[in-house]
Structure 1
Amino acid sequence: MNEHVYTNYRLQLPDQEVLGTLVVRDGAIADIQPGLVAQGQNGDGDYLLPGLIELHTDNLEQCISPRPKVRFPLEAAVVYHDRELISAGVTTVCDAIAVGDITPTSIRLTQFAPMINAITDAQTHGRLTADHRLHLRCELAYEHVCDITAQFVEHPLLALVSLMDHTPGQRQFANVQKYREYYMGKHHISETEIDAFIQDRIEAQQRYVSQNRQQLVELMRSQNIPLASHDDATVEHVQEAIADGAVIAEFPTTIDAAKASHQHGLQILMGAPNLVLGGSHSGNVSAMELAELDLVDIFSSDYVPQSLLQAMFLITRQTQKPLYKAAKLFTLNSAKAIGLDGDRGSLAVGKRADFITVHDDGIVPRLTSVVRTGRRVA
């Protein structure tokens, strides 16, 4: 029998904080009790909370291509990505794999299958520390998105599919000037090329989006795979998501869309970088504003894994919510959204011993350990 005792920690239970003791036995939580014991690891009053659960991160792309024209070997990039997530306290992750893009040189047009295969192989052979699942991000204006997605719809790691439309004038980029600035900066499209580029994107949207959306929605329904909308900006967008059977609203861009999503029971997912930075880099609604209005259910690190933990503590300071309530936005709610809450996402007897310990000095919270299935991994 393999047993570990953690005592004198501020345990973040589903409905309360308890200064007490947690016992791990054979990879699962065996006991939780208030008060201190004489044996075990003494936390000196630090926090102990569930491992973070990430539903939407593009971090693997950054590990593959940290600079333009640089391509790391996929096998190495997957391991780098995994270690960055674990070091940020993420014990379960849905790797966001984009299917389709709007720029001809994008890795999203060619690397989706190699990325999926590399993740699957690494997890199968024990090279990964976090538990990895797949989140397919389907670009609706991409001609071949349906055929490609159909190839992976029965993949055993597939946990979530989202429908995206990054057309200028739509959703995240309703402000076309913001679109111009973003794509000229990120993809180095020149001033003379950008207008033709925008027109091409608009024509592709008109040609493909409607039929691709219908086919993908039908495909997800047939496989009972959770569906997410993406960058909803209007009440009409939300109504479309409801009709599609979506259960998650990723990154609504306006307060009206967030309110409508909440009213219709969609789980609202926002980006932790938005909250840490004090606003959206695209000029969209503030994540903190939505958190203050109780219009956020889940936080994702998006493109900065380390932002998750800091965002959680910022919420407690700004909104006066107790930490155990704020923690659900990063743990239990995420698990529920993809049907994993039966064995993870909260500190409860019988659940997997996936948890983190944190010291907070009031400036930036510091992760002091990460435990996955009872074993310390960071």
Structure 2
Amino acid sequence: MSTANSDALLARMMQFHPKIIDLTLDRVWRLLAALDHPERRLSPVIHIAGTNGKGSTQAMIRAGLEGDGARVHAYTSPHLARFHERIRLAGALISEEALSALLDECLAANGTDAITYFEITTCAALLAFARMPSDYTLLEVGLGGRLDATNVVDRPALTVITPVSLDHQQYLGTTLPEIAAEKAGILKRGVPCVVGPQDEAALDVIEARAARLGAPLLVYGQHWHVSVEGGRLVYQDETGLLDLPLPNLPGPHQVQNAGMALAALRALNHSAGAEAAMTQAHWPARMQRLRTGPLVDALPQGTLWLDGGHNPAAGSAIAATLAQMNVGRLWLICGMLNTKDVVGFMHPLKDVAQHLYAVSIPGEAATLPAEATAQAARSAGIEASEATDVLSALQSIAAQDPSAHVLICGSLYLAGHILRENG
């Protein structure tokens, strides 16, 4: 499918504001008013914030709702291979024709006023959702929550806060309570909220805001529990126990994400979709095994995985997943943005990494140079070298270890590049 038209329109949208991120809702409210307030005409909304696990949790909620017969819209970010991934209409990615028409309409309504790329494209998504019937609309927060462009629905059906950890400190605050306060900005008066596993400092902030708003909380460890027993997932709350297959998404951290999804389905009276949530959810670039393509061909006797995690909590989740997979020490190919805690991400990986090849992320102005990524890896205790690109890194690895296990990691932007280039 050619995306030339929408790509050109999206490129124009990058020119309306000098900053990529500028957190405020003023510009969003202005454009939504010009579009006749599509945010007021949505099907019941499930709004999801948090630092890690938002996308996976949303994917499992969507699979569960659809497994119980519901028509579901879904908004997520960032995209990996193409923008259309961000907008899912009643189960299908938005078409090029529909996307281009929406973008044109939003450009016309906005005129020459300042607005960020994320703000205007979020308005386009809300307009698409308002015009097509559905049973639910899933909205994933882009950054933070309180001032995120998705935080425009007065009364969602449910909110979800996944685990909060340190990330995007330059926008959200330097401490866990400050970041938790931004995430808790999606709480609404009287609207229930599913709360995933949290550090005590983050949970205190969430509970205090919920108490002020009279928002009922469904908190992990208090109102619901999830565990693995005998190779099955066991979920329990006051309604009863669910004995289910393990999540289709790999990694021990997905058990907690599954628990949040199941708590959400229970709160929405869609328990019948619980098994589908476990078995039908798919989410690319989360310990995704690559099986075909030129990069796989460069490692014909080995195995190749891809993960877009990019903060310390994600590094810990990747390390735990690799330990569970029992692949031994493996090779890493890593590219990261210069806004991330690179050493913090890499430190949990030092016990599972044999060697790291550092690369720059093609086409990303904020990429960390390969040299700096390699130095950060060494600071984290990982032996590291630089490579000009992922393919040359794979060729170097294959020459040394033909049956190598390799993980490409460090950024969703790198993951998107890999998925595009690898077909």
Task: Report the TM-score, using the length of structure 2 for normalisation.
Answer: 0.29
Task: Give the structure with the larger strand fraction.
Answer: 1
Higher relative contact order (CA 8 A, sep 6+): 1
Task: Report the TM-score, using the length of structure 1 for normalisation.
Answer: 0.32
